[in-house]
């Protein structure tokens, strides 16, 4: 029984370490996504200021491109 418990404790520690690594990756991906979203918003705002970007919704853009909604 002691061997089983020690083995399970070791496995739990390994799973916790793997979980921490995954959390770090997820946080980094969220940071990257936020940065890109901010950049896109800034670019869209700049284009709208120049009259180069309309206020189209995604479905309108798809229709204009010949896609389906």
Higher model confidence: residue 8 or residue 58? 8
Question: 58 falls in which pLDDT band (50, 70, 90)?
Answer: low
**C-alpha to C-alpha distance for 11 and 42, rounded to whole angstroms:** 46
pLDDT in tens, 26-44: 999 999 999 999 999 999 9
């Amino acid at each position: 029984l002691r061997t089983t418990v020690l083995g399970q404790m070791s496995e739990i520690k390994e799973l916790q370490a793997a979980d921490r690594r995954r959390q770090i990756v997820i946080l980094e991906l969220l940071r990257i996504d936020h940065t890109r979203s901010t950049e896109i918003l800034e670019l869209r705002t700049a284009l709208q200021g120049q009259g180069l970007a309309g206020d189209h919704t995604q479905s309108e853009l798809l229709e204009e491109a010949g896609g389906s909604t």
